[in-house]
Amino acid sequence: MRRLLGLITPLIIGLLSAGFLGAGPAAAQQTAGPSGLNAFYGQRLAWSACGGGFQCAKLKVPLDYAKPAGTKIQIAVIRLRAHGGGERLGSLVINPGGPGSSGVQFARTSAKAVFPTRIRSRFDIVGFDPRGVGASTPVRCFTSAQFDAYFALDGTPDTRAERKTLDLAQRAFARSCQANSGKLLPHVQCR
């Protein structure tokens, strides 16, 4: 639990300072962001029920933060609202890490299991799919059938022929990702 909180603390601070999880519209409107980004910082999310007691929404962000007026993408967000008799204190944003892990699915499977009732009664539990993942504007590479064939390959090749087959498949995978998600890829790289 301590490790999980250590991982999500910087994200919580960032979202709070950005106004996404602030106390209300006044807090979001007062947030001064970098030039051209105020519209993103002051967003009000349109939450709707999405099963299991959760609410879901989409957050708009620039594809390229250096060009905020350019192409926009969506980030999928999910929350489990605080419940109970205590005063709601705010939101806890959780993230499973990655790369490529769905924070929406992580929230669905762990919010009730990881956080005790005394925490969930005072805090919304919030998760999100990072850019390029899951329900956020996703990176698209192969079709389902192509993925099935790719994952059926021997991942630990022992012969020259097996290594060649795996190498060709990996190159095809990279070409397919570039062809289907070339504009998005430079903005989802792990660094």
* pLDDT score at 133: 86
Residue 97 gets the label, from left (phi > 0), alpha (psi -120 to 50) or beta, of left
Report the relative pairing of strands 90-93 and 123-128 from DSSP bridges: parallel
Give the model's pLDDT for residue 4.
Answer: 38
> Structural domain of residue 153, as residue ranges?
144-187
Q: What is the mean pLDDT of each run of 10 residues along the chain (191 residues)?
A: 40 38 42 72 91 94 90 93 84 84 92 89 93 86 90 92 93 92 81 57
Which contacts (CB < 8 Å, 24+ apart) does range 39-44 have? 40/68
Q: What is the pLDDT of residue 186?
A: 83
**What are the start-end ranges of the H helices in the chain?**
2-18, 25-30, 38-41, 103-114, 117-120, 144-151, 160-181
Is 174 contained in some domain?
yes
Q: How far is CA 160 from CA 43, 45, 157, 167, 171, in A?
A: 54, 53, 8, 10, 16
8 and 92: one domain? yes
Q: Which residues contact 104 (CB under 8 A, 6 or more apart)?
A: 56, 76, 77, 78, 127, 128, 129, 134, 135
Q: In this structure, is residue 117 part of a structural domain?
A: yes
Residue 163 belongs to some domain of the structure: yes
Q: What does residue 144 show for φ and ψ, rounded to 5 degrees? A: -60, -45
Residues 60 and 103 in one domain: yes
Same domain, 119 and 148: no
Sheet with strand 72-80: strands edge to edge: 48-49, 54-62, 72-80, 123-128, 90-93
Query: How many secondary structure helices (H) and strands (E) does the chain include?
Result: 7, 5
7 and 92 fall within a common domain: yes
Which SS3 state, helix, strand or coil, does residue 58 take?
Answer: strand
What is the count of structural domains for the chain? 2
In Å, what is the CA distance from 58 to each residue of 33, 73, 115, 117, 152? 20, 10, 24, 27, 34
Tokens (6 digits) for 143: 């079709």
Euclidean distance between CA atoms 182 and 148, whole angstroms: 22
Are 67 and 105 in the same domain? yes
Does residue 136 lie within any of the structural domains? no
